[in-house]
Amino acid sequence: MSTPVKMPSPPDAYRRRRAKLASHLKRPLVVFAGHAPSRNYAANVYPLRPSSTYLYFGGPFIEHAAWLITPGSDGDNGCTLFRPVAGPDDAVWLGPTPSDGDYAFAAGVAASRIADLDKLEAAVAGRGAVAIIPPFPDTIALAAKLKLAPLGDEEIIPLAAMRVRKDEHELAAMRYAAEIGCDAHRAAMAVIRPEMLEADVAAEYEAVLVANQCRHPYTPIITIRGEVLHGNGHPNMLDPGAMLLMDAGAEEPGGYATDITRVVPVNGQWTTIQRHIYDAVLRANRAAIEACTPGRRFREIHFLAARVIAEGLAQAELLVGDPAALVERNAHALFFTHGLGHLIGLDVHDLREFGPAATYAPGRQPPTEFGGRYLRMDRDLEPGMTLTIEPGIYLTPEVWERKDLCGPLEDVINRPKIEALLAERFGGIRIEHTVCVRAEGAAEILTDAVPTDADEVLEMVGIA
């Protein structure tokens, strides 16, 4: 009996992608799916999530599978999908699986291009093949056994050029992920009440994902400690005067993700300084999105947002001086402690596994200064490119204890006012959208179904 294999793109799209990459290859490329990671012993595993490049080229959800793409392939001939042979008892534990014909149809190859995994060794022997090796122990061991080298810049650069520009099928998948992520944010906002737990809000969020067959694309950050950029766990009680930061997205069944951050006051009312800082971050977010046009360098947009943030900090009397001069001295980074955003698609930090060769344009390197060194990418924007815009302002106690950061800037720091906010455990504010650059006109905001206007946000809090 045929078992349809659902994929986010049609077979011919995958075939075209493989053919396009093959036209750039000078040596065979193996793209491993990886395997389900073990939780605490080998047989107790998390759900399988194949590697993103494997999915991009039409890889079905098959543990330990691998594509072999050879130079000059037309996307069918010269491409082979290797998969493990099913054991006689697999159906007892896992249920029926699709046939090779079902997998081949979904992936856009002839059924004869599906082969047993144990034949991969002979297929690559003596050919100087390279590989994309996801960080799973069994996959790393197999790549070493087959003597496969990691791919170099000559493969990374054309691969990145393909993956940064999303086609209509990819954008449809990302819009669905955005829809579900926005639904989850609204549902979570609606239950927020003082003295409940962060975990209660996180549970409401996850319930929406599960109900729509989606999953978290990363560990969600749902916390009143918004100054901790990647804080994990949800142990805190929601204090009435605190702000709750929710950085959480959605990954649809095919693997495409969106990333969303919103901040709300727990008691449904902004304090004067909370509202001032929130509006400054929102202005930076909107200015940066407006600047997302083809040909614009992303680093320039980062510093555009930094100047808007510096202006807001000066107006709040947390910094003293001309905003442009403050940015020139990197004073804004004491509050805006990270980069403006990152590429997004099949990975929430898309292409980051390949390093600066993929996320930075040729000849560009990550900055070295505090804050700027976390600029996740520096490419010129292109139509179809999807990225996040996520400026923020944080009062991080550990930053203000560092003499190497604060000492050279004491003349522009309003230390008493900053110390007062630290004593109040101000936290942090970040506003994040996932956007797509268009060939003409304004960027498409995929995540605008959750409001960002400060007054509209209040209308969402605690209404359940």
- C-beta of residue 120 within 8 angstroms of C-beta of residue 131: no
Dump the DSSP string for 405-442: HHGGGGGGB-HHHHHHHHHTT--EEE-BEEEE--SSSS
Query: Do the domain assignments include residue 298?
Result: yes
pLDDT tens track for 109-164: 999 999 999 999 999 999 999 999 999 999 999 999 999 999 999 999 999 999 99
**Whether residues 63 and 188 fall in one domain:** no
Percentage above 70 pLDDT, the chain: 100
Residue where a domain stops, chosen among 163, 184, 205? 163
Residue 463 lies in a domain: no
Look at residue 1 and tell me whether its pLDDT is greater than 80. Answer: no
Domain end marker among 163, 196, 212: 163
Measured between alpha carbons, how far is 343 from 300 in angstroms, rounded to an integer? 16
Q: Is the dihedral of CA 260, 263, 266, 268 positive or negative?
A: negative
Is 6 a member of any domain? Answer: no
- What is the pLDDT averaged over residues 270-290? 99
Whether residue 250 is found in the same domain as residue 390: yes
123: amino acid identity, one letter: A
Predicted local distance difference test score (pLDDT) of residue 93: 86
- Residues 50, 36, single domain; the answer is yes
Whether 82 and 196 share a structural domain: no
pLDDT range class, residue 372, cuts 50, 70, 90 = confident
pLDDT-derived band at 446 (thresholds 50, 70, 90) equals very high
What's the one-letter identity of residue 280?
Answer: A
What average pLDDT does the segment 188-200 reach?
97
Max CA separation in the chain (angstroms): 75
**Angstrom distance (rounded) from CA 194 to CA 173:** 36
- What does the angle CA 382 – CA 169 – CA 165 come to, to the nearest 5 degrees? 15
Write down which residue in 114, 129, 163 finishes a domain: 163
Tell me whether residue 140 is in a domain. Answer: yes
pLDDT at 464 over 80: no
Predicted pLDDT of residue 4:
82
Q: Are residues 100 and 174 in the same domain?
A: no
Same domain flag for 222 and 158: no
Residue 231 sits in the same domain as residue 138: no
CATH number at 98 reads: 3.40.350.10
pLDDT of residue 133: 96
Is 115 in a helix, a strand, or coil? strand
228 and 352 together in one domain: yes
2 belongs to a structural domain: no
Pair 123, 241 in one domain: no
The CATH number assigned to the domain holding 443 equals 3.90.230.10
Q: How many folded domains does the chain comprise?
A: 2
| 31 and 175 inside one domain | no
pLDDT at 401 over 80: yes
What is the value of pTM for the model shown?
0.96
The stretch 22-48 carries a mean pLDDT of: 93
Residue 3's pLDDT band (boundaries 50, 70, 90)? Answer: confident
Q: What residues contact 358, with CB distance under 8 A and at least 6 apart?
A: 156, 157, 159, 160, 351, 352
Helices (H) and strands (E) in the chain, counts: 17, 16
Residue 372 counted as domain residue: yes
Is residue 4 a part of any domain in this protein? no
Work out the pLDDT band at 457, boundaries 50, 70, 90. Answer: very high
Q: Is residue 267 part of a domain?
A: yes
Token duo for residue 363: 């000849």
Kind of pairing between the strands at 428-430 and 392-394: antiparallel
Looking at residue 79, what DSSP letter applies?
E
User: Domain check: are 159 and 22 in the same one?
Assistant: yes
Domain holding 341, by residue range, is 168-458
Return the structure tokens found at 431: 């506003």
Residue corresponding to tokens 């995929």: 446
Average pLDDT, the chain: 96
**Which residues pair with residue 69 across a beta bridge?**
29, 79
The pLDDT score that the predictor gives to residue 91 is 85
Both 442 and 314 in a single domain?
A: yes
Res. 2 pLDDT band, cuts 50 70 90: low
